[in-house]
Amino acid sequence: MEIKKKRIIIKIGDIFKIPIADNKHSYGQYYHEDKFGYIMRFFNIITSENLKPEEVVKFDLMFPPKHVGLKSAVRVGDWERIGNVPITDFVMPKFKYSHKRPDGSFTPWHIIEGDKMTLVGDELPEEYKHLEHYSAWSYYDIVKRIKNKGEIPYEAWK
């Protein structure tokens, strides 16, 4: 017997219910896709109530948009699509990027905005320190961050 894989079609604007713990959940929205993958935004709500997609998007964001392994979360059935609300307020997120060398030093910092990468130097200017790192998060690390009320759950990632 041949088992057919279910084709996953995800559209910008899709809203997902994200289980957290103790019958509570949060919500995220597929916001944009770039060459690095799916960018989602996550709303500042943890609830046991089932909200309509139109209600979800009225909440503030819990943290800035992030790249996330969205297809994995959907494929295994952990995140449930509950509807779609068109994105009407799209702003390309900016990210900071550098990586640690084996000797403990860092490569020069860059600011990434869409396809544009701008070198800012060996020291990250104060005005960019609040930006998220340019990285993709697994969906279960996103759940940890939501449980942590938006704070990054791993000291090494800050």
Asked if 38 contacts 67 with a C-beta cutoff of 8 angstroms, the reply is: yes
Euclidean distance between CA atoms 54 and 10, whole angstroms = 18
> Of all helices (H) and strands (E), which one includes residue 64?
strand 61-68
pTM of the model: 0.87
The number of domains in the chain is: 1
Euclidean distance between CA atoms 80 and 99, whole angstroms = 34
- State pLDDT tens for residues 84-121: 999 999 999 999 999 888 998 889 999 999 889 999 99
Do the domain assignments include residue 104?
A: yes
Do the domain assignments include residue 121?
A: yes
Euclidean distance between CA atoms 121 and 105, whole angstroms = 13
Backbone phi, psi, residue 88, to 5°? -115, -5
Do the domain assignments include residue 54?
A: yes
Q: Which range marks the domain in which residue 117 is found?
A: 14-152
Do the domain assignments include residue 3?
A: no
